[in-house]
Amino acid sequence: MPYVRHWLRNSILLFATAIALGMIAAHTKLIQPHDLDLDRTIQTNTRTGWLNTTMEMISYCASPVAGVLILAVWCGYLLFVRRRPITASATFLVVAVGWNSTQIAKALVARPRPPREFMLDPEIGSNSFPSGHVAFTVAVAVAVYFLFRRSRHRRTVVVLGVLAVLLVAFSRMYVGAHYPTDTFGSVLIAGSAIFFITGVWHAWLLPNLERLPVLGALLTRFGLEQERAELEAAQAGYGHPATVPVPGRGGRHRRHVGR
């Protein structure tokens, strides 16, 4: 996970912007009519039998049930098969925090769902702003980018990640579950949460992984110190952009960790 300068300021600014957007969309008439018009345009002009099934399947792939399974399998593979406990922990935090941050915004904004008569499969879950499906996709795309940001595939990962976010956002409007501002707000909310967790990761979590109750012993068992050493060696070739204190050394020595 990279270190992001001014992570707290950026996180607060993005979160405040998203909440302001949500409040305006939900509780004024400045955005709501245009949101509904765009939803209806998409649904009227593009809906057809095979595309209905496709969009519902895409939405399901980013649903809470599918999301939990994807995250569990992904992080389990990184930890138990690849024996990369730092990478597994960072990946889990980016996805879980970026995804679940939407629940705070949903409670604050309290925007009702679009009219049920426009939905292919009526939603009975939480409020409309922001979209948890889109936030999950954003968080996954960012987590994958963090894994590949120093490889020759990073541009491909960025392009595919953007396309995945756009596709899931379109599917949520297509099936009638969200307004356009809900999907855009998800990008802001997830981005805010990811900025925040990168700061917490470098300031506190990464230096103290060994000390975490129960989890610390598990991470140590599956190669924590070995991965730390590998990351130090790899970091030496990248200009040392981020440092964290090494636990138990009085803060005088620093470890360079870029994951």
Rounded to an integer, the average pLDDT of 83-97 is: 97
pLDDT at 245: 39
- Classified as helix, coil or strand, 130 is coil
Is residue 255 predicted with pLDDT exceeding 60? Answer: no
Cα gap 85→76, rounded to integer Å: 10
Is residue 256 predicted with pLDDT exceeding 90? Answer: no
Is residue 247 predicted with pLDDT exceeding 60? Answer: no
Cα gap 182→220, rounded to integer Å: 41
pLDDT at 237: 64
Is residue 239 predicted with pLDDT exceeding 70? Answer: no
Is residue 72 predicted with pLDDT exceeding 90? Answer: yes
Rounded to an integer, the average pLDDT of 155-177 is: 96
Going by pLDDT thresholds of 50, 70 and 90, the confidence category of residue 9 is very high
DSSP characters over 195-206: HHHHHHIIIIIG
CB 185 within 8 A of CB 134: no
Length reported for the chain: 259
Element (DSSP H or E) covering residue 244:
strand 243-245
Going by pLDDT thresholds of 50, 70 and 90, the confidence category of residue 254 is very low
Structure-token match 């060696």, residue found: 233
pLDDT at 135: 97
pLDDT at 231: 81
Per cent of the chain over pLDDT 90 is 77
Going by pLDDT thresholds of 50, 70 and 90, the confidence category of residue 150 is confident
> What mean pLDDT is reported for the chain?
89
- Pick 240 or 196 by higher pLDDT: 196
Cα gap 143→140, rounded to integer Å: 5
Cα gap 104→106, rounded to integer Å: 5
Is residue 82 predicted with pLDDT exceeding 60? Answer: yes
pLDDT at 172: 95
